[in-house]
Amino acid sequence: MKKCHLALQITHWVFSELDVPLDCEFSYNTHDPLAITLVFDTDGERPVRWIFSRELLAEGMTARAGEGDVVLWPMLDQDGEPSAFCVQVGSTRTAVFEIPAEPVANWLARTYDMVPQGAELDGVDWDELVQLAE
């Protein structure tokens, strides 16, 4: 089992005119190769953890992706290139975070080096899962 982490500072948009810097951490574990974990306010008293698909993160960095509790979309610079992306979490009460794209893209590439896209389920023992389900 291998793990990959990225800690960085992001922006929590409380209101359109009020942004708050916030520490967060992305983590990936080959034990659960389809998912990434994003922890907001890692240094705070009550960090908040969201788990969603690695594919959703990859898609949301370049185009609007997701629905319901997790939605992501890119923010483009003057040249039309993604410089950051936003993550909106929650359904009733939502929060929006702006995250720099480059460090996350580099981290995400490392996760694909660990488990290539499309190979996430290669190590699953389907017979064992079927037996557990019966």
Domain with 18, as residue range(s), is 3-133
User: Can you give the CATH number for the domain in which 32 is found?
Assistant: 2.30.31.20
Report which residue type is found at 83. Answer: S
pLDDT digits (tens, 9 = 90+) for 34-70: 999 999 998 888 999 999 999 999 999 999 999 889 9
State pTM to two decimals: 0.85
Q: What are the CA-CA distances from residue 88 to residues 52, 55, 65, 66, 78 (Å)?
A: 12, 16, 11, 10, 23
If one counts the domains in the chain, the total is 1
